[in-house]
Amino acid sequence: MPQSASLAIVTRSEAIREILARAATIARSDTSVLLIGETGVGKELVADYIHRVSARSERPFIKISLSAMPHDLIESELFGHERGAFTGALTEKKGLFEVADTGTLFLDDVDDVPPSVQPKLLRVLESGHVMRVGGTAAFAVDVRVISASKVDLREMVAGHLFRSDLFYRLNVCPLVLPPLRQRRDDVPLLVDHFLRRFAPGRSLALTPEAERALMAYDWPGNVRELRNVAQRLALFIQGDIRLSDLPPEIHDGHPVDQLVKACTRCMADQQMTFNEVVECLETNLLRHAMADARGNRTLAARRLGLSLSTLRDKLKRNGLDDDSNGHDA
């Protein structure tokens, strides 16, 4: 399991492992990298990883979120400006390309670069020279550029919202980061990681019901949303984290829907037959129903809408009837 305290990349996902391995290879060169993924998947962490394992690791790592920057300030922020270049330019200012010289510049949300700045950004990437706003002479910079996009830039190119030549210049080595809902096995690992961070020295543990709900949830905000949920739990919970402690959008999901989403083995294993998938789901449903009912077969049968005798038969057929904790009342 790749895990580094300094990089905070916590995963057991094979897809993420492959991305990190590829990123380490890319880091040995100065090739431009485009990180693609939904908001909150951890693009900045991967950019930081590439910088730290590269030959530039001791040099500056400069980050800018272009979506958070007013469009009329992006050019000056990236390239700098000379004194008097525009109203309010009372002193000269270094741009981020200049500040990141010999290091790495991370352009987050590069899809938000306005059309007026795109050709100037392309010129810098191709020539390695920067001219400040209001300047008369360009100067060389040695910067490795990593960019990130939350949308498909190809669609923006097709819609004439993003220059194709700039896209191809950025897209030399693309890395696509999967959303958290496609790597549900990472959820308990990440929750534990963030709980340790936000509640050091305290013993906080997920109950099985809470863990299943967290794994079944689709996490539209990805790892960033999970981190916020863990921080909230660390603030208010003192012991075991129960289903009722989770935010309503997580614990109100239908139990069967949660189970199907959380059953990652049969949903992901393409070698399983239809009957094997059904058997896997039924076994997990029975196991979880018995756990939720604390071994009470009568209660589990009622919740599943089965007769007690039918439940007993299914438990026996799925090899679950020898549980010493099981009882009928």
Q: Which domain holds residue 205?
A: 180-247
User: Are the C-beta atoms of 251 and 213 separated by less than 8 Å?
Assistant: yes
Partnered with residue 145 across adjacent β-strands are 105
147's enclosing H/E stretch is strand 144-149
Q: 95 by DSSP, 3-state: which?
A: coil
Instruction: Map residue 190 onto helix, strand or coil.
Output: helix
Q: Give the domain CATH number at 295.
A: 1.10.10
Amino acid at 312: R
pLDDT of residue 5: 34
pLDDT digits (tens, 9 = 90+) for 193-243: 999 999 998 889 999 889 988 988 889 999 999 999 999 999 999 889 998
Percent over 70 (pLDDT), the chain: 88
The CATH number that applies at residue 171 is: 3.40.50.300
Helix axes 255-262, 208-216, angle to 10 degrees: 80
Instruction: Kindly report, residue by residue over 7-64, the tens digit of the pLDDT.
Output: 458 999 999 999 999 999 999 999 999 999 999 999 999 999 999 999 999 999 999 9
Please tell me the pTM assigned to this model.
0.74
What's 199's domain CATH number? 1.10.8.60
The rounded mean pLDDT for the chain is 87
Exposure string of 165-187, with b = 16+ CB inside 10 Å and e = fewer, is ebbebbbebebebbbbbebbebb
Which pair of structure tokens corresponds to residue 252?
């109100």
Whether 4 is covered by a domain: the verdict is no
Contact 14, 79 (CB under 8 A): no
Number of domains in the chain: 3
